């Protein structure tokens, strides 16, 4: 499958040769790219309370590489020096439909593996310093030119400058370097040290991947389990007298192990939990319920005039095939559906807009109508 965003490279070739293996520069990954986000749009986003934004001041702060957190207003930007700073806005896809649509071009990677689209603006010499990220990243040059250098050395904790708000590598030495023009993209596997410096004012789009760690998974799974009611307590109806009351016996420990195992997930629990976990909405970013919820009859009438549905851009979706069913996950909620809904599930989880599926299913089953009805009233489709 040829990918436009890979400059016409075949997805299979990219995954086999580069993905999680080695860096790669894709010249004109998107030829003639026109940015959907202006510098002012980004500054406006960084002024909003619910948007995560940071300013990195290489030289103009109270100390080198000072980081300040948004929201920022015009006076914050007015005080900035001419050079050597960067504004970073995380999760722009949750706030801008165009940013969410940009991520759709990365369909050659499972959607759940993509975390966000971070957009940065930097004037000349702007940078966030040499550092490494623990996940794969696609660094797309949207406007302006930037010099990137990398080093694949295995850096240790002692290689980072102490006491900063950012992790910055001390004495970074470039091993490979590229000058990126608008439309070019650098892909980096996890852990490759990189340093990008703006040659002139411009914007970079970073598609950051999601790679949950075992501790993160465990901690979320435990939190989720603790919310449920099936708690089992230690019991020992066959207790017999023991010689030393201070001893914890092998038999006691075996019961503790059994108790632990009873709290661990079987496959069904895990499937259900993982889908809910990876699609859970970001804080404050759940779509608001439909302004005027419709009753089932009014909804069917509404559907008659709807050739296309659009999905709220901050919706997180995924599905898992399980036995003869699909489990659809939408913003952290699970719903078991029959395989008859497969064409709808594929379209809904892959697109921002999809054809109204009701005329396509003849006669439309109550399962599909009911699902669309709930998605509509929850503000997820319109």
Name the residues that contact ligand SIN, by CB under 6 A. Answer: 86, 120, 128, 133, 137, 139, 194, 196, 204, 206
Verify cis geometry, omega within 30 degrees of 0, for the bond prior to 71.
Answer: yes
Name which of ligand SIN, Co ion, none residue 204 binds, using a CB cut-off of 5 to 8 Å depending on partner kind: ligand SIN
- The minimum distance between CB 91 and ligand SIN, in angstroms, equals 14
CA separation, residue 29 to residues 24, 106, 114, 192, 302 (Å): 11, 12, 18, 21, 41
Give the nearer residue to Co ion in terms of CB position, either 127 or 349.
Answer: 127
Give the nearer residue to Co ion in terms of CB position, either 127 or 279.
Answer: 127
Name which of Co ion, ligand SIN, none residue 144 binds, using a CB cut-off of 5 to 8 Å depending on partner kind: none
Tokens of residue 318, six digits? 């995924």
Give the nearer residue to Co ion in terms of CB position, either 133 or 378.
Answer: 133
Measuring CA to CA, which residue among 133, 134, 145, 140 is closest to residue 103?
Answer: 140
Name which of Co ion, ligand SIN, none residue 7 binds, using a CB cut-off of 5 to 8 Å depending on partner kind: none
Give the nearer residue to ligand SIN in terms of CB position, either 186 or 345.
Answer: 186
- The minimum distance between CB 210 and ligand SIN, in angstroms, equals 14
- The minimum distance between CB 131 and Co ion, in angstroms, equals 6
Name which of ligand SIN, Co ion, none residue 315 binds, using a CB cut-off of 5 to 8 Å depending on partner kind: none
Tokens of residue 148, six digits? 């990137």
Task: Give residues 318-347 in contact with Co ion (rule: CB under 5 A).
Answer: none
Long-range contacts of 172-179 (CB under 8 A, 24+ apart): 172/130, 174/149, 174/150, 175/149, 175/150, 175/151, 176/23, 176/149, 176/150, 176/151, 177/147, 177/148, 177/149, 177/150, 178/25, 178/147, 178/148, 178/149, 179/145, 179/146, 179/147, 179/148
In this structure, the number of other CB atoms found within 10 A of the CB of residue 101 comes to: 16
CA separation, residue 55 to residues 76, 152, 205 (Å): 10, 27, 16
- The minimum distance between CB 351 and ligand SIN, in angstroms, equals 28
Q: How far apart are CA 114 and CA 44, in angstroms?
A: 25
- The minimum distance between CB 133 and ligand SIN, in angstroms, equals 6
CB 234 within 8 A of CB 259: yes
Measuring CA to CA, which residue among 199, 208, 61 is closest to residue 135?
Answer: 208
359 forms bridges with which residues in the sheet?
none
Give the nearer residue to ligand SIN in terms of CB position, either 55 or 139.
Answer: 139
Name which of Co ion, ligand SIN, none residue 86 binds, using a CB cut-off of 5 to 8 Å depending on partner kind: ligand SIN
Give the nearer residue to ligand SIN in terms of CB position, either 160 or 273.
Answer: 160
- The minimum distance between CB 77 and Co ion, in angstroms, equals 23
Give the nearer residue to ligand SIN in terms of CB position, either 199 or 290.
Answer: 199
Name which of ligand SIN, Co ion, none residue 275 binds, using a CB cut-off of 5 to 8 Å depending on partner kind: none
- The minimum distance between CB 102 and ligand SIN, in angstroms, equals 15
Residue nearest to ligand SIN (CB): 120
- Contact status: 133 vs Co ion (CB under 5 A): yes
**Which residues are near Co ion by CB under 5 A?**
133
């Amino acid at each position: 499958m040829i990918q436009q965003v890979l400059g016409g490279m075949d997805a299979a070739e990219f995954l086999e040769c580069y993905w999680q293996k080695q860096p790669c520069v894709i010249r004109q990954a998107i030829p003639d790219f026109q940015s959907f986000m202006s510098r002012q749009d980004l500054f406006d986003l960084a002024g909003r309370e619910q948007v995560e934004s940071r300013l990195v001041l290489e030289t103009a702060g109270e100390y080198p590489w000072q980081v300040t957190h948004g929201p920022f207003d015009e006076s914050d930007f007015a005080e900035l020096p001419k050079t050597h700073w960067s504004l970073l806005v995380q999760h722009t896809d949750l706030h801008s439909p165009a940013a969410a649509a940009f991520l759709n071009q990365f369909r050659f990677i499972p959607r759940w593996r993509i975390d966000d689209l971070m957009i940065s603006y930097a004037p000349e010499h702007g940078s966030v310093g040499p550092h490494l990220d623990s996940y794969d990243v696609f660094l797309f040059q949207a406007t302006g030119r930037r010099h990137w250098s990398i080093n694949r050395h295995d850096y240790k904790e002692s290689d980072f400058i102490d006491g900063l708000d950012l992790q910055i590598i001390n004495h970074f030495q470039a091993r490979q370097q590229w000058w990126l023009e608008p439309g070019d993209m650098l892909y980096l596997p996890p852990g490759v040290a990189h340093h990008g410096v703006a040659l002139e004012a411009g914007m970079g789009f970073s598609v950051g991947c999601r790679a949950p760690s075992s501790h993160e998974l465990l901690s979320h799974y435990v939190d989720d389990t603790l919310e449920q009611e099936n708690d089992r307590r230690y019991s020992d109806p066959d207790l017999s007298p023991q010689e030393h009351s201070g001893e914890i016996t092998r038999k006691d420990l075996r019961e503790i192990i059994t108790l632990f195992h009873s709290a661990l997930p079987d496959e069904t629990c895990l499937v259900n939990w993982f889908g809910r976990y990876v699609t859970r909405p970001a804080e404050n970013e759940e779509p608001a319920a439909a302004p005027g919820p419709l009753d089932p009859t009014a909804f069917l009438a509404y559907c008659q005039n709807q050739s296309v549905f659009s999905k709220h851009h901050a919706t997180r979706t995924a599905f898992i095939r399980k036995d003869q069913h699909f489990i659809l996950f939408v913003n952290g909620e699970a719903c078991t559906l029959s395989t008859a809904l497969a064409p709808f599930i594929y379209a809904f989880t892959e697109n921002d807009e999809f054809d109204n599926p009701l005329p396509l299913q003849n006669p439309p089953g109550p399962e599909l109508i009911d699902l669309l009805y709930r998605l509509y009233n929850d503000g997820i489709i319109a």
